Amino acid sequence: MKQRIAAAAALAAVVTVACGSSRHTSQITTSATAAVSPAQQAYTPADVHFIAGMIGHHAQAIQMAGWCASHDASPSLRPLCERIVVAQKDEIAFAQRWLRERGEYVPPADPRGHIMQGSDMPMLMPGMLTPQQMAQLDAARGGGASSTGCSSST
Cα–Cα distance, 92 to 56 (Å, whole number) = 8
Q: What is the pLDDT of residue 135?
A: 85
10-residue mean pLDDT series, the chain (154 residues):
45 37 42 57 90 91 89 89 95 96 91 64 68 83 53 35
Q: What is the pLDDT of residue 37?
A: 63
Q: What is the pLDDT of residue 73?
A: 85
Cα–Cα distance, 16 to 20 (Å, whole number) = 6
- Name the residue among 85, 107, 88 with its Cα closest to residue 96: 107
Q: What is the pLDDT of residue 129?
A: 79
Q: What is the pLDDT of residue 14?
A: 33
Q: What is the pLDDT of residue 24?
A: 41
How many other C-beta atoms are found inside a 10 Å radius of the C-beta of residue 141?
A: 14
